[in-house]
Every structure is written in C-alpha cells, then in structure tokens.
Amino acid sequence: MKSKLKEIFTVDPYQEMNSDSPGEVCNLLKGEWIQGTGFREDIPDPLNGEPFLKVPDTTEYSEFINSLDSCPKSGMHNPLKNVERYLMLGEVCAKSAELLREDEIEKYFCKLIQRVMPKSDSQCLGEVTVTRVFLENFSGDNVRFLARSFSNPGNHLGQESSGYRWPFGSSCIIAPFNFPLEIPVLQVMGALFMGNRPLVKVDSKVSVVFEQFLRLLIHCGLPPSDLDFINCRGQVMGELIKESKDKIRLLQFTGSKEVAEKLAVVLRGKIKIEDAGFDWKIIGPDYDPKWSEHVAWQCDEDAYNASGQKCSAQSLLFIHENWEKDLIPKLRKLALKRKLEDLSIGPVLTWNNTQFLDHVNSLLKIPGARCLFGGKELANHSIPKVYGSMQPTAVEIPIKELLGKSFHNVTKEIFGPFQVIVVYEDSDLPIVKESLEQISQNLTAAIVSNDVVFQQDLLSNTINGTTYIGMKARTTGAPQNHWFGPSGDPRSAGIGTPEAIITTWSGHREIIKDVGPLDQKWVVPDIS
C-alpha cells in the first residue's frame, strides 16, 4: 500500500487478502484494538474459495457486556450535557469525507468492498459515494442542528416548556453483509450524533470493511472509546444480547425477518428493524415505445444489480399486457449480458445453488408457471459451493394463481438474482392490489406510469417506505437523502436523513421550567 494508506489502514486488499497473506480483523473494546485469540476458518474468498480473512471468533463477551455500563441513560452527550461533542462529530464527518474524496482512499474502499462482497465497479463506487455524501451532509454544525428543540410559553410568567431530543445511552447495532460500508457507517454515525454509545456487530464475511473505516474515523478524531466493535457468530451475539437485555436500551437490526422477530421478543420491543424487502414494481397501462428501452434497463438494474442482494431489489414485477410483447424479450436480452468477468453478476453469499433451484422448481409446479430466462448455474467459475452462482432468473406466475395457496411461497424473499413476473390486464387490477395488501415486507416500491389517476389509485391503496412513481421509477438505489426503511411497522428504522436519525436514535423529552414570581395573593390551598 502507498504511504498514506499505510498510515491509516492495516489491511491491503491489493496485495493481501489471500491464502498466503490473509487480512486480519480486530475487535475494538473500551478504546483498544484487540486481536482475536481464535479466528473463523469458514470465511472463504467468494470468488475462489481460498481462505482470505482472519476474523475473531469471539466467544468470551463478558467485557463487552461490562462496557455497556460506561454510558449512562442520559447518553454520551445531550442538549444539556457535553454539547461540544456535537461539533466534534461534525468535524470528524468533515475530515472523513475529505479523505474519501482522495482518489487512493476512494479506490481503497471500492477494492475492499469488492473483495468481500463482489459486485461491479460502479456498484462499489456508488456505495463509497453515498457514504461520503452522508458524511458531508453532517459536517460542521449540522450534527448540532439534529438536536434542535422547541419552546412554548407557559401558563404564567416565568414558566416555559422545552422539548428536547434525548439519547437512549447504551445501544446495539447489527449490520448486514450486502452494503458493508454504507449501512454500518450511516447507522453508527446516526447513533453517535444523537449521543448514544453503540456496540456494533457487522456480518463477519464483510466486517473488515467497517473495521478499516473505523480506523479512518479514529484517524480523523473520533474517540476510540465512543463505541465497541465485536466479531462473533450469530449465536454468540444472540447470547450476548440475551444476557445484556436490561443494559441495551435500543437495538437497530438489519437482516432476516426470522432473526428480527426473535430479537424483538428478547429485548421486549426495544428494537428498530429493517428486516426484509419483497419489493414490487408495477408497470402501468400507458405503454409508450419510446420508453421501453429505459424501462427494461431499469427493471434489469433493480432486479439483478449486486446479484439481487439488496433489500430493495425488485422481487415482484407486474407488467401490464400492453407492455408484455415488447418488454419481456428486452429483459431476457439484458439478463444474458450480465457476466461474472465484470461482476455484473456474481456470488450469492446467503443462498447456495441447491436452495435457489429448489425454490425455482417449487414455483414451476404452480399451474401455468414458466421460467422466462435463467434458472441455471453460471459457467466457468470457481465460486465455492457454500455460495450461490446462478444466472439472472425470472419465473412467470399467472395472475389467476397469485392469491392461491402458493402466495406465501411466491412472495418469499430470495436474496439473489431472482424475480417473479406477473402479466395483468385492466380487469386484474383488484387482484394486483389485494396481493400488495397481503405482502408483509413493505420496503420499497415503484409505479412505472405517467398516468396520474393510475398512480393515485395505487398510492392510496398501498403502503411502502421509499416509493418511486413515473416512467423512471425504480426500487433500488434509494439515495441517502431519502428516508429509507420499511413502512407500516412501528419498529421501522430508516437511515440517512435527519428525520430517520432523530426518530430512530432519540426520544422526546419535555422539560417544564417554572421560575416565576410567587403570586402575592397566594395562600395555602384548602386540602378539603
């Protein structure tokens, strides 16, 4: 690595991260980097299966639990305590964003992301860019402005009521593998902005990315004792949470619905979640041939970028019959262009080929169902069998079969290059709307239509988080300046925007100040 990179980082994704020289990840506890006494041996390079990372296999976590006590319920800071920390964090954001603008550091994180979560150059660059812009947005005074309060006059002279955003104190963050930089950075910084001290766990397959970014934050002035960072198996983290459930005042979780529900029970509801996304797109009846190439391209991007490993990926595509003959051949052609060589398609880290094909075959048993394209393993690859290696795949389900006994299976989120396609007519629109009502994972959605009446009808009868409308509508690529999170769930956790940070990482506290003069006519009230 170049001298500046060596000054900050400890892992070299260019020359290291291979069987001869694996990258080594550390834990961070009470401000100290700690090397693991034992390492995971089950994290292979997703492109060739070779061991390439040494990640701590932490089993003894009592000190992490003890560290939770270092932050009081009133937080590391709040509007009335340690207020200089708001400016400190703004300065850390400014310096970190400035470094991310430097070509060698931008390329460093792009390369690091690509080594652990293989996706195209443009996808990796996009993740780094979103992270940088987020940091720029919260530079300087902008962290302090998050904690803005309100004041109301009281009932008499000398009394006023002030409302503040108040931190929770000790908290926990569990981040997924698919955006190894963007998601944990946005979540952790949001927690810190509001005065919380988080214990952070990132999926071990990719945790090296956030660990190295932590080193950049500390280099830019973040006190290393502001958070703890643990690498361990999911079962161990579950035990840690169970034993510290009275100390963790809030957990933000991104991952599977099954795990989210278990954690919600353990923590007695003290959780904010983004747990799944079976995301729909509807292409309306207003077919316009001049838009067909763009609509097809956007559909392909939404379904298959990052090999479909996005909670915002297009999972269910409704195509009006007016578009069918033009659009489906274009979708097939675009899918066939995706190659492992440029990582426009690549390893699937949570679904292997057997699981993938079992699901496809189960859908093909539905009367009238057919595989439109894909459904086969990639050719000429060295992706280890523990990971998936499938072509972009689409299965068509007849509209009349959608709400039948197979609905749960049809709407099962497949975290891979897969989508269900349903062709509908005008008379089928009630079936379409009923299916959207029954889908429980309301994350992102898109209505591809310039027909305002059609848009309004669907918008008023559905619920989702980030929802796009118009001919350019998409499901993925939700920018950081939007609320991004599920809708319709009181536990929903957005990331990125001031609104999302405030409502996730702080609660409302009202303080009534009453210092007015005593009424000269006041007497002790009659207690009767």
Rounded to 10 degrees, what is the CA torsion of 240, 246, 249, 251?
30
Please provide residue 203's backbone torsions phi and psi, each rounded to the nearest 5 degrees: -45, 125
Q: Which residues contact 334 (CB under 8 A, 6 or more apart)?
A: 296, 297, 300
Which of 232, 311, 396, 413 does the annotation list as catalytic? 311
Contacts of 448-453 spanning 24+ positions with Cβ under 8 A: 448/281, 448/282, 448/283, 448/284, 448/295, 448/298, 448/473, 449/282, 449/283, 449/284, 449/285, 449/286, 449/473, 450/286, 450/288, 451/284, 451/285, 451/286
Tell me the two tokens of residue 138. Answer: 């919260």
* Given 24, 127, 274, 413, the catalytic residue: 274
| Sheet strands side by side (includes 170-175) | 32-34, 27-29, 228-229, 197-202, 170-175, 250-254, 271-274
- Listing from the earlier edge strand, what are the strands of the sheet with 150-153? 150-153, 159-166, 507-514
Task: Give the H/E segment covering residue 387.
Answer: none
Residue 299 annotated to the active site: no
Question: Which residues are CB-neighbours of 483 under 8 A, at least 6 positions away?
Answer: 465, 466, 494, 496, 497, 499, 500
DSSP SS3 for 446: strand
- Token pair 């931008």: residue: 106
Other beta carbons less than 10 A from residue 498's beta carbon: 17
Q: How far is Cα 528 from Cα 522, in angstroms, rounded to an integer?
A: 17
Whats the size of the chain, residue-wise?
A: 528
Q: Is 311 a catalytic residue?
A: yes
The residues annotated as belonging to the active site are 274, 311
